[in-house]
Structure 1
C-alpha cells in the first residue's frame, strides 16, 4: 500500500470515527485532540497515523469500522504501516 492509499483509508476512518458518538469522545480523551484538531490536522499524515493507531487498539473497533466502510479487516493496519512512524515500532 502506498502513502496516498493509506491516507485515503485513514481519512475514511477519521470520518467514521468523527461520526461515532460513542467512540469519538474516547479518541479525543485518549489523544488529547480536540474537534478543532480533527478539522485542522485531518490532512496531516502523522495525525492520520494516530487515528489508525487508536482504532487498531481494539479488534471490535476495527470490525465495526471495516464493516461500515466495506473494507477488509486487515486494511487499517496495512494503512498504518504505510504512514509515518510505523517504521520505528519496536516490540521489545
Structure 2
C-alpha cells in the first residue's frame, strides 16, 4: 500500500476533524483537555496553533483504540494522523 502524502493544509483539516471527534463525546474531550492543560474556553484560540493540532493528533496516536475509531469514522488510512502530525510539526509536507 502506497504511503499517503499530507501537506500542511490537509493536516490542519485532519486535526480539526480529530478535535470534532474528541468533542463528540464529553469523556474523550475531558481526558484530552486534562492531559493537555487546555481549558474549554481556550479551544477556539489554540485550535489555530499548529503545535496544539499536532499534539491533539499525537494524543490520538497514543491510544490505538481511539485512533482506530477516529480513522474508521473518517474513512482514513490509520497512518494519516501520524503523517498529519509530522506535517504540522514542520517535518513533512509543504
Q: Same fold (TM over 0.5)?
A: yes
Q: Over the residues paired in the alignment, what is the CA RMSD in angstroms?
A: 1.6
Equivalences, count: 87
Among 12, 17, 20, the alignment partner of 2:22 is 17
Task: Compute the TM-score of the two structures, normalised by the length of structure 2.
Answer: 0.83
Structure 1, residues 10-56: CA drift from partner, whole Å, max 9, x if none? 11111111112221111011111111121222122111111111111
Task: Compute the TM-score of the two structures, normalised by the length of structure 1.
Answer: 0.85
Aligned structure 1 segments of 4 or more residues deviating by more than 4 angstroms: none
For structure 1, the 5+ residue unaligned runs are 88-92
CA-CA distance at 1:85 after TM superposition: 6.3
For structure 2, the 5+ residue unaligned runs are 1-5
